[in-house]
Amino acid sequence: MIHKVSTLAALFLGATLSFNAAATKTHYCFGKVSNVHLTKNGSVSASFSGIGSTPLSVTNSVVCSLQGGSDGHTSEYCHAMYSALLLGLSTQNTVTMWFKNNESSCPTGDWTSLVSKGLYHFRIVKA
């Protein structure tokens, strides 16, 4: 009897973990930085002109907080992101951002939070 209960518990746990893993998708999006701004409360926001097959087309969207965030990003990460965004703006190199969420497309819109969309990694690629 105990063996049956532990087997059922293991099956239930496995099904639950499989469901949760399937619900979170990772994907990446490409864009060029068209503006960067900093609010007095330390929010770093930017706009991106989407390019390629998975375009990142957002305007005035929060990418991080200079104080760190509840999603786990540190103050140092945000300072580096701010510098990288300024570099991307001045060089017009392509920015790639990775997201982990339940969506299958890149974020779009105005005044959205890329942090709440699952932003977890970025890079700038030399043109």
Whether residue 60 lies inside any domain: the answer is yes
Per the structure, the count of domains in the chain is 1
Backbone angles phi, psi at 56, to 5 degrees: -95, 105
Whether residue 36 lies inside any domain: the answer is yes
Whether residue 13 lies inside any domain: the answer is no
Contact 110, 60 (CB under 8 A): yes
Give the C-alpha separation, 24 to 47, whole Å: 25
Q: Tell me which residue range forms the domain holding 53.
A: 25-125
Residue 114 sits in a domain whose CATH number is 2.40.50
Whether residue 12 lies inside any domain: the answer is no
Tell me the residue type at 19: F
The CA–CA distances, whole Å, from 15 to 23, 101, 102 equal: 12, 19, 18
pTM of the predicted model as reported, rounded to 2 decimal places: 0.76
Whether residue 16 lies inside any domain: the answer is no
Q: Is the pLDDT of residue 83 over 70?
A: yes
User: Residues 7-62: pLDDT tens digits?
Assistant: 433 333 333 333 334 456 888 999 999 999 999 999 999 999 999 999 999 999 99
pLDDT of res. 23: 53
Average pLDDT over all residues of the chain: 83
Whether residue 49 lies inside any domain: the answer is yes
Q: Is the pLDDT of residue 5 over 80?
A: no
